[in-house]
Structure 1
Amino acid sequence: MQKAHTSFALALSLFLAVSCTNNKDAEQIAPSLSAEASQSSKDGILTSELSKPIGMSIDQKNQIWVSQSGTGKNDGSVVVVTPNGRVQTAFTGFGSQVLPNNELGGLGHVLYQDGMLYVLDGLNGRLYIIDVSSYKAKDAPVPASSLNFIAIKPFVLSQNLSNPLDSNLYDLTFGPDGRLYIADAGANAIISVNLATKALSVFARIPNATPTIQAVPTGIIYDGSKFLVSTLTGFPFVTGLAKVLQISTSGVVSDYRSGFTALTNLAPAKGDDLLVTEYARFVFSPPVVGWQPSTGRVANAAGTTVLGGLNEITDIERINPNFYYVLSTAEGTIQKLKY
């Protein structure tokens, strides 16, 4: 069986090899964008200056906190994108390494809430907790070595959740109990973190997509009554096999929506609708073997394409009831979407 970490890391790194995580709770929606931000976003692109971005989260000033995976030299970073598209580095020196299989291990997603930034280091299995309430645009970058973190990987490995043992902390959300819930794409599980006591527990295990293909959880949100989790599925990334799963507050996992391909993230939409991001289509026939360029898309819960022709997208963030940001790791862009 293909390792969950390998299959998920492959999904995010094949493009890099060939060419060289989030505050989405339904009730936590940022204010409307300013006129300045709208005018600066030509053709819907807010910025194209990011470097291998993975996840994003928006604060009350409409600043976008973005994790970047780095180049494999422990140079992962978190940058801030202003409402008019300026990019500034806030934190540097997070884990980033080229793994023995030539994949890139690094940061997962970020989540902003109430002046605090939560950053997942998938490579080292850490949850960084950073007070950014006094952050200013011209502050010098802060090294990750000076930041507080909770070591989560040792706990995950001790639970014997995968064979071989693996952990790849990828996305996170707050639950109704104030705990953080982390989608671990290596262990194929959801990990609960009590921030008050630092206690860790296994909230749910994600079942395989088929007897031989792992589901690989990617995005996670809480919609007010249940958790929703997007799945990538492991190699060979079969078209139509990916699902959105629902998890009750007691940890019971069941299917919610199916028929998707290589899902990487999700966000709530009006009513009971949902938007999901498909990374790309994977094929084994020439001339391009692997992830096909510009085959990613944003789709709704019914599977209808909302925005197509995208290139390896890894995150979608709701910024108000009608607008979203979509993040492309291949293009280094944040694009505005109306739905």
Structure 2
Amino acid sequence: MHRLRTALIGAVTTCLVLPLGVGSVAAAVDPDDVTVLADGLDNPRGLAFSRSGDLYVAQSGAGGDGPCFAGAEGPTCLGPTGAISKLQLGLDRHGHQHGDGSLVDVVTGLPSLGLAGTGDNAIGPSDVAFDSQGRLLATIGLGADPGIIATDPGASGGGLGGSDLARQLASVNWVDVEDGAVEKLADIAAFESAENPDQVFPDLGLIDTNPYAIAARGNKRVVADAGGNSLLQVDRDGSVDVLAVFESEAPVQNPFAPPGEMVRAQPVPNAVTPGPDGAFYVGQLTGFPFTTGTATVWRVKPGQAPTVYADGFTHIIDLAFTDDGDLLVLEIARTSLFDVLILGSGDWTGELIQVDRKTGQHTTLLTDPLFAPGGLAVRGDHAYIANRSIVAGEGEIIRVPLG
């Protein structure tokens, strides 16, 4: 996602905002009913169920020994610690478990960019999705100018040196779940370098890409580029097309500037899921200054202008639909990341919210024990969440009853 960047150019038509404050049948979940299914994960992010009912998780890893570069949050180092793993649940269509519940690695050795010394806040494998033929797709992020991939480590600010490991960053990949083979389908770094569809500060030549979330339906594969502020379609031959570029937020006071100097936050789209109506739904984090209540869920139908489906959220990190057609919205933090990251006065308590399909009512289902959650999937009457998604060695997968 963008790191404290503040503006972009986009054109999106907005309408159909769902109302708030209308009655809903959803009810809060008792934290005692939440079950930890796996722990000890490295920065776990996106989740996806296979046809056989096993749950796949993208682990962004813990970085490594380098090369390193000067990241927005400190020295950031590359290492082969990213992974895609499988929680062997074997859930049938009734939700009955036939697997032993163990966590096994499907593929290891994937690139990971983590904070030096801790491996926290890593960027690496960030999401997984199965296509209509049951094949697994995975995104590997970057969160920086793609030029850093080939930059010499000795350059000012550092670089990643253009190694084979580094060149796997900012990509969409096929993953063979049987033998763990990984084949690059699309080079999002190359696409962003050539096209830069959001044109943020074009005079400054700023480019950023972070292919964060992926979804598939039929023959369509779509990627939310949190760094590029765009929704992309990836074809079978690896070609990339722009489905949408999301608009910046309304101007607000820049907290680092004199009164009256305004700033427009970037949208940072980092969640996408197929809806029951054939459209794709995109959630946004929103960037600096991280104003609460400004995150939106967009409905995107290929070939049509995006529309607002629901809004009023704070820092969306993932989306999923229930079997009944209600939308679940997962927030990585329910308070402003300005408070958390800059002032140090907030915390990483997340939030799971249900949006009623008929009324648009927002109902908070769960906050405790959510700490910086990073991924969401639904199977039957349970939600599955990748929790503690920004720490190395402490991530977990939890199961939440939906009632």
Task: Say if 1:78 and 1:89, in contact at 8 Å, map to a contact too.
Answer: yes
| Aligned position for 1:267 | 320
Post-superposition CA distance 1:239-259 (Å, at most 9, x none)? 111111111221411211111
- Alignment partner for residue 191 of structure 2, among 139, 144, 155? 155
Rounded to whole Å, the distance in 2 between the matches of 1:255 and 1:204 is 13
Normalising by the residue count of structure 1, what TM-score does the alignment of the two structures yield?
0.78
Shift of 1:185: 0.3
Larger radius of gyration: 2
Task: Say if 1:261 and 1:278, in contact at 8 Å, map to a contact too.
Answer: yes
| Aligned position for 2:386 | 327
Question: How many residues end up aligned between the 2 structures?
Answer: 290
| Aligned position for 2:175 | 130
| Aligned position for 1:217 | 269
Task: Say if 1:170 and 1:184, in contact at 8 Å, map to a contact too.
Answer: yes
Question: Identical aligned pairs, as a percentage?
Answer: 27
Rounded to whole Å, the distance in 1 between the matches of 2:246 and 2:268 is 8
Task: Say if 1:216 and 1:232, in contact at 8 Å, map to a contact too.
Answer: yes
Structure 1: 5+ residue runs without aligned partners?
Answer: 9-40, 136-141
Shift of 1:270: 4.5
Shift of 1:279: 0.7
Shift of 1:210: 2.5
Post-superposition CA distance 1:260-283 (Å, at most 9, x none)? 100001111244421100111236
Rounded to whole Å, the distance in 1 between the matches of 2:4 and 2:320 is 23
Q: Relative contact order: is structure 1 or structure 2 higher (C-alpha 8 Å, sep ≥ 6)?
A: 2
Q: Aligned pair in 2 of structure 1 residues 118, 216: CA closer, same or farther (>3 Å)?
A: same
Letter in 2 for 1:149: K
Rounded to whole Å, the distance in 2 between the matches of 1:283 and 1:201 is 31
Rounded to whole Å, the distance in 1 between the matches of 2:108 and 2:284 is 29
| Aligned position for 1:89 | 105
Task: Say if 1:325 and 1:335, in contact at 8 Å, map to a contact too.
Answer: yes
Structure 2: 5+ residue runs without aligned partners?
Answer: 6-31, 65-78, 90-99, 143-168, 201-205, 252-263, 356-360
Letter in 2 for 1:307: L
| Aligned position for 1:65 | 56
| Aligned position for 1:179 | 220
SS at 1:154 equivalent: helix
Shift of 1:159: 1.2
Mapped pair 1:109 → 2:127: yes
Mapped pair 1:6 → 2:3: yes
Mapped pair 1:200 → 2:240: yes
Normalising by the residue count of structure 2, what TM-score does the alignment of the two structures yield?
0.66
Post-superposition CA distance 1:179-208 (Å, at most 9, x none)? 20000001000111111x322111111111
Shift of 1:42: 8.0
Larger deviation, residues 103-112 vs 118-127: 103-112
| Aligned position for 1:19 | none
Shift of 1:284: 5.6
Rounded to whole Å, the distance in 2 between the matches of 1:286 and 1:244 is 23
Post-superposition CA distance 1:66-106 (Å, at most 9, x none)? 11111212211111112243222221121212479x96332
| Aligned position for 2:11 | none
Rounded to whole Å, the distance in 2 between the matches of 1:326 and 1:286 is 21
SS at 1:156 equivalent: helix
RMSD: 2.7
Q: Aligned pair in 2 of structure 1 residues 249, 311: CA closer, same or farther (>3 Å)?
A: same
Post-superposition CA distance 1:33-88 (Å, at most 9, x none)? xxxxxxxx984221123221011111122221111111212211111112243222
Shift of 1:299: 0.3
SS at 2:190 equivalent: helix
Rounded to whole Å, the distance in 2 between the matches of 1:287 and 1:79 is 29
Rounded to whole Å, the distance in 2 between the matches of 1:130 and 1:258 is 34
Rounded to whole Å, the distance in 2 between the matches of 1:284 and 1:218 is 18
Higher strand share: 1
Rounded to whole Å, the distance in 2 between the matches of 1:313 and 1:273 is 20
| Aligned position for 2:207 | 165
